[in-house]
Amino acid sequence: MLIEENKPLAPFTTFGIGGPARWFVEAASEEEIAEAAAWAAERGVPLFVLGGGSNLLVSDSGFDGLVLRVALHGISEQVATTPSGQTIYQAAAGEDWDPFVERTTQAGSAGIECLVGIPGTVGGTPVQNVGAYGQEVASAIEQVRAFDLQSHSFVEFAAAECGFAYRRSRFNSEDRGRYIVTRVDYRLTPGGAPTVRYADLQRALAESGEPNLAEVAAVVRRVRQAKGMLLVDGDPDCRSAGSFFKNPVVSEEQLRQIAAVSAKEPPRFPAGTGAENLGWVKVPAAWLIEQAGFSKGYTLGAAAISSRHTLALVNLGAASAAEVLALAEQINAAVEARFGLRLEMEPVLVGF
Ligand SMILES: Cc1cc2nc3c(=O)[nH]c(=O)nc-3n(C[C@H](O)[C@H](O)[C@H](O)COP(=O)(O)OP(=O)(O)OC[C@H]3O[C@@H](n4cnc5c(N)ncnc54)[C@H](O)[C@@H]3O)c2cc1C
């Protein structure tokens, strides 16, 4: 195990922002994960787990601790077939997510086809319950294997034990920082029908009759690219962490208050499918931001709102983390002044 010192973190993030890690290690096996965790524990050094760096804003001064980059690889296909005919794919946490989705989709296995084109690693997906275009990983995860930094042992959680909700799991809430995910088992449906629930997809597929998984995935990729939400070399709109703000979930009463101060009827989406979501609705943060006076392409120093998607903040080239946060605060203050609510940031802040 090679522990490096003062390793710049910006190249490990999709934002391309951030100072150095005091110590840095890549762990390519479960043994190395345990070894790195012991190294940090023995020295009383804080530990941060890095995946693909696609949901992070790292501070300009970096991280004063050990950054452990998860580099476990390997996917075993069809290791177990469930009684209902579903297939389990066991994917190591360091595998890139997008090629994994492409592979399962091309194999005709349904369940994650709308999540194509999302950057990052397999291990990062359960952390914020990655979701897009009508799907969330919560509904396809069978089990998550992880190293427990408290007990220094490996544990396995069934999906029901992961505390999944909108952009939430136990791994980014009550147990934040406690587990290092080493493997995620996905339960997919061979020959299953694609999910075409989202209005943008329905419009784009209107002429397609009964599209197959690969066609749906291809359309998702096109829609994402049009919004600058796909990592494409040389595209300045994708130097981001994706959506910078979560869509707020508000009560019917709050929704009426938002409608009362806006010129247009606010768009709304169901907050979720469970009974606990009754009486709650999701309002697009992008709409609130636009109604608060911001438009695509708005710039503050070298940080900007993406020219194709109001929800993504981008690094125009040499933005600092401080500039991105200043822009985020400017937006949030305007949304709060207009609608009386503050938006929650989606990316994880590191080293602040
Ligand atoms: C262009 C673009 C589009 C995006 N679109 C979407 C989208 O549609 N939907 C969506 O949900 N997200 C989206 N994202 C955000 C991001 O891609 C996802 O959240 C992704 O799953 C993050 O994974 P990562 O490996 O990059 O994690 P990182 O960014 O490296 O880390 C994020 C958090 O997860 C933790 N983490 C990562 N790996 C592990 C592990 N193995 N064990 C424990 N903790 C871990 C980190 O400690 C950190 O707290 C987008 C980002 C970009 C740049």
Domains along the chain? 4-70 (3.30.43.10), 75-226 (3.30.465.10), 236-350 (3.90.78.10)
Predicted TM-score of the model (pTM): 0.95
Pocket perturbation via mutation, ligand 1, pick of 13, 17, 54, 59 by most ligand atoms within 8 A of CB? 54
Decide if 209 contacts 148 (C-beta within 8 A).
Answer: no
Residue 18, ligand 1, Cβ within 6 A = no
Mean pLDDT of the chain: 94
Q: How many CA atoms lie within 13 A of 198 on its CB side?
A: 20
Atom of ligand 1 nearest to the CA of 228: 1
Q: What is the pLDDT of residue 203?
A: 87
- Gap between the Cα atoms of 21 and 31, Å rounded: 22
Q: How many CA atoms lie within 13 A of 243 on its CB side?
A: 20
Residue from 69, 145, 167, 187 carrying the catalytic annotation = 167
- Angle at CA of residue 247, ends 244 and 252, nearest 5°: 160
- Gap between the Cα atoms of 3 and 26, Å rounded: 8
Tell me the CA–centroid distance for residue 25 and ligand 1, in Å: 19
Residue 303, ligand 1, Cβ within 6 A = no
Residue 223, ligand 1, Cβ within 6 A = no
| Structure-derived torsion over alpha carbons of residues 259, 265, 266, 268, reported in degrees to the nearest 10 | 120
Contacts of the segment 325-329: beta carbons below 8 A, 24+ positions apart: 325/57, 326/300, 326/301, 327/300, 327/301, 327/303, 328/244, 328/245
Q: What is the pLDDT of residue 80?
A: 62
Instruction: For residue 119, name the pLDDT band (cuts at 50, 70, 90).
Output: very high
Identify the H or E element spanning 312: strand 312-315
Structure tokens at 121: 């690693």
Q: What is the pLDDT of residue 166?
A: 87
Residue 327, ligand 1, Cβ within 6 A = no
Decide if 103 contacts 83 (C-beta within 8 A).
Answer: no
Atom of ligand 1 nearest to the CA of 231: 1
Tell me the CA–centroid distance for residue 257 and ligand 1, in Å: 33
Is position 243 annotated as part of the catalytic site?
yes
Tell me the CA–centroid distance for residue 58 and ligand 1, in Å: 13
Strand partners, 188: 87
pLDDT tens, position by position, 314-339? 999 999 999 999 999 999 999 999 99
Q: What is the pLDDT of residue 35?
A: 98
Is position 346 annotated as part of the catalytic site?
yes
Pocket perturbation via mutation, ligand 1, pick of 25, 115, 127 by most ligand atoms within 8 A of CB? 127
